[in-house]
């Protein structure tokens, strides 16, 4: 497999993520110690310890586009993140933090984005209490995900993704592209950006704000 997702951990959170990936028809591999939980679920899997480099290699980590780590132990998350970043420097790593004190350590280990479950739960409860059930809740610590349509006056029109340098200049990452009703998550750096295309882009609040100001009109 190439340009696929790797989901590390198949507990309650992992099962929810796997369901979303399946519904999106995204290619992915799940890694978990308990093979009984993984059998006959309709997806590829590798049974084993995610802190073992060989297990990660068997899941095709070197070719993965995105790695999602949702283990229950923060020390294991940190170690797995270190190994994953070393094996695949170009991948996007999104990791769960079981305690807020681990957030900085997981970032330093090489994660691009860290989700704090306690912060997410707190935000959701606060929005519900205030009667804002319909508002978008920040699901990851400092992270936003949005879809942006390329307009005719955008400076990226006619450039390849590599030439646009959205990641190097702004810090955001393109994780999906839609054109003529077809969506792909296999991002080719040589693909030409055209008027009318819609890009799915992930980044922190400051990066997204700068992106919208300089490049795109949000849908």
Domain assignments of the chain as residue spans, ordered by start: 5-121, 143-218
For the stretch 28-70, pLDDT in tens is 999 999 999 999 888 999 999 999 999 999 999 999 999 999 9
For residue 137, what pLDDT is reported? 44
Q: Which CATH class is domain 5-121?
A: alpha beta
DSSP state of 160: B
Please report, for residues 104, 141, 151, 165, the alpha-carbon distance to residue 97 in angstroms, rounded to integers and kept in the order given.
10, 10, 37, 30
Higher-pLDDT residue of 191, 121: 191
pTM for the whole structure: 0.62
Percentage of residues in the chain having pLDDT higher than 70: 84
CA distance between the termini of the chain: 32
Q: Which two tokens stand for residue 190?
A: 């040589």
pLDDT, residue 54, reads: 96
As a whole number, mean pLDDT of residues 109-117 equals 84
C-beta atoms surrounding 86 within 10 Å: 11
pLDDT at 134: 42
What pLDDT is stored for residue 24 in this prediction? 79
Give the DSSP H or E segment for 55.
Answer: helix 53-58
pLDDT tens-digit profile of 115-172?
Answer: 776 666 565 556 556 655 444 445 445 566 677 888 888 899 999 988 988 888 887 7
Query: How sure is the predictor about 83, in pLDDT bands with cuts at 50, 70 and 90?
Result: very high
CB 30 within 8 A of CB 56: no
Give the C-alpha separation, 40 to 22, whole Å.
14
State the Cα–Cα distance between residues 141 and 105, nearest whole angstrom: 14
Matching CATH topology for 5-121 and 143-218? Answer: no
From the candidate CATH numbers 2.40.10.220, 1.10.15.40, 3.30.70.1450, 3.40.1350.10, the one assigned to the domain spanning 143-218: 3.30.70.1450
Q: Is there a contact between 146 and 218 (Cβ–Cβ < 8 Å)?
A: yes
């Amino acid at each position: 497999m190439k340009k696929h997702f790797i989901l590390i951990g198949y507990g309650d959170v992992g099962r929810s993520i796997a369901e979303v990936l399946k519904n999106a028809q995204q290619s992915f591999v799940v890694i978990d110690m308990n093979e009984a939980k993984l059998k006959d679920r309709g997806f590829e899997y590798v049974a084993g310890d995610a802190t073992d480099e060989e297990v990660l290699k068997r899941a095709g980590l070197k070719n993965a586009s995105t790695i999602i780590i949702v283990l229950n132990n923060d020390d294991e998350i940190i170690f797995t993140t270190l190994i994953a970043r070393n094996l695949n420097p170009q991948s996007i790593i999104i990791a769960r933090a079981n305690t807020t004190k681990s957030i900085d350590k997981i970032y330093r280990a090489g994660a691009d984005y860290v989700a704090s479950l306690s912060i997410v739960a707190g935000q959701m409860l606060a929005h519900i209490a205030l009667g804002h059930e319909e508002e978008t809740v920040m699901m990851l610590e400092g992270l936003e995900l949005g879809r942006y349509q390329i307009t005719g006056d955008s400076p990226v029109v006619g450039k390849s993704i590599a030439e646009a340098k959205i990641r190097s200049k702004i810090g955001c990452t393109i994780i999906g592209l839609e054109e003529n009703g077809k969506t792909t998550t296999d991002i080719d750096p040589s693909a030409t950006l055209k008027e009318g295309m819609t890009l799915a882009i992930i980044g922190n609040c400051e990066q997204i704000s700068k992106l919208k100001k300089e490049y795109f009109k949000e849908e």
